[in-house]
Copies of this chain bind each other. A is one copy, B any other.
Amino acid sequence: MGRKLRMGMIGGGRDAFIGGVHRIAAFIDGEIEMVCGAFSSNPEKSKLSGEELKLSADRVYGSFEEMILKEKELPADKKMDFVSIVTPNHLHFAPAKMAMEHGFHVVLDKPATFTLAEAIELKEVIDRTGALFCLTHTYTGYPMIKEAKHLIATGKIGKVRKVFVEYPQGWLTEFREGSNYKQAAWRTDPKRSGISGCMGDIGTHAFNMAEYVSGLQVQSICADLHIVVPGRLLDDDGAVLLKFEHGATGFLYATQVAAGEENNLKIRVYGELGGIEWQQEDANTLQVKWLHEPTQILRAGTPYLSANARFGTRTPPGHPEGYLEAFANLYRNFALTLQARLSGDAPRPEWLDFPGIEAGIRGMAFIENVIASSKSELKWTPFDPGS
């Protein structure tokens, strides 16, 4: 089964939300231990975070460059195996590239990079270095999403006709950037988030979900983005009409100003014979609707699920798993694949099911295309994949 993998973290200091999530996701299955970190570009803050996280002081670094260079010099049985990068978007590309070029594997928070061009370049780095790379599109880590993909891929609901994905949140209903609220501040700041706010932050999740579950690629879009809250600098709401390959159509909408909504990601796909429906806030349930038979309620952990879906659950049916376990599924699959590589074994097919740079490039292309379409007076904008 190999040994525990050693993780170094870049970003994710004290008040960060997503850094803590990555750590839980990495720890939960006992396959990964955190050995070092560069938690902040402020060395003092990094040090404090390292103490809180019970790291040895000599493994807490003041910058990612320092961490990568110093860890590289450590003995093979001590140095980190991979980095987990959980910084804001503008600080994804440089550490990922440097880590891989110095022999480390990479787990990277989404969206992949600051621009599409960076994502395409990152693919070249991955190809050149042979590093293992995982992009943390959490929501495709849910077991019932894997089951949905399986049902569609095996033709159970027939040829896909419609794909509806929606992602309402309410946490940016008010102008919170001005307050001392780190999450809101960087996500609405073009310098750190990129050219899109809502579409970059959660629209990319919805887009990834739509393509992952349906198995179809988007070919044309018609986007209508809004800055709803006065004073905000990036879109906080938007709808996108979609045309997929093979004639399917649908829409995506994402908003962060739906007052009272939490994190209500939902996907519905309809084919000629039936449809599937899944909602993140009730994640252990997959509805399968049939044209001529009663709807079925598929549940996580049950023996009738496909291998991929079963592998994504740790407990028997009725013991709900959630967001952290979905996130952990990405880390676990990444870790098992990496352990197999390190010990020269063949990975099991289930382990390979985690998002890579291709999903990252699609996501960055989505952001650039959706911004382009939103500025266009024409209804349809062909989806330019960028490469």
A65 within 8 A of B: no
Stretch at the interface among A90-98, A106-114, A279-287: A279-287
Complex interface: chain B residues within 8 A of A28 (CB):
24, 27-28, 324
Q: How far is the CA of A20 from the CA of B314 in the complex (A)?
A: 9
On whether the beta carbons of A21 and B315 are closer than 8 Å, the reply is yes
Complex interface: chain B residues within 8 A of A253 (CB):
164, 251
Q: How far is the CA of A274 from the CA of B174 in the complex (A)?
A: 11
Contact with B along A223-264 (1 / 0, CB 8 A): 010101000000001010100000001010101011111111
Complex interface: chain B residues within 8 A of A352 (CB):
none
A347 within 8 A of B: no
A378 within 8 A of B: yes
On whether the beta carbons of A261 and B275 are closer than 8 Å, the reply is yes
- Chain A: residues with CB nearer than 8 A to chain B? 1, 3-4, 17, 20-21, 23-24, 27-30, 34, 51-54, 157-158, 161-162, 164, 168-171, 173-174, 222, 224, 226, 228, 237, 239, 241, 249, 251, 253, 255, 257-264, 268, 270-275, 280-284, 288-299, 301-304, 314-325, 376-380
On whether the beta carbons of A324 and B316 are closer than 8 Å, the reply is no
Q: Tell me the number of copies of this protein.
A: 4
Closest Cβ of chain B: how far from A75's Cβ, in Å? 18
* Contact A249 to B224, CB < 8 A, known contacts A237-B162, A270-B257: yes
* Contact A319 to B322, CB < 8 A, known contacts A291-B260, A377-B379: yes
On whether the beta carbons of A290 and B259 are closer than 8 Å, the reply is yes
Chain B residue nearest in CB terms to A33: B33
On whether the beta carbons of B318 and A263 are closer than 8 Å, the reply is yes
Closest Cβ of chain B: how far from A269's Cβ, in Å? 10
On whether the beta carbons of A30 and B30 are closer than 8 Å, the reply is no
Complex interface: chain B residues within 8 A of A24 (CB):
28-30, 314
Q: How far is the CA of A21 from the CA of B30 in the complex (A)?
A: 12
- Select A262's contact among B173, B260, B318, beta carbons within 8 Å: B318
On whether the beta carbons of A263 and B321 are closer than 8 Å, the reply is no
Complex interface: chain B residues within 8 A of A377 (CB):
378-380
Chain B residue nearest in CB terms to A305: B294
- Complex A-B: 28 CB contacts under 8 Å: A21-B315, A24-B30, A27-B28, A28-B28, A30-B54, A162-B258, A168-B268, A170-B291, A171-B316, A222-B222, A224-B241, A226-B249, A241-B241, A255-B270, A259-B271, A259-B272, A260-B274, A260-B291, A261-B275, A261-B289, A281-B318, A282-B320, A293-B304, A294-B296, A294-B304, A295-B297, A297-B297, A320-B320
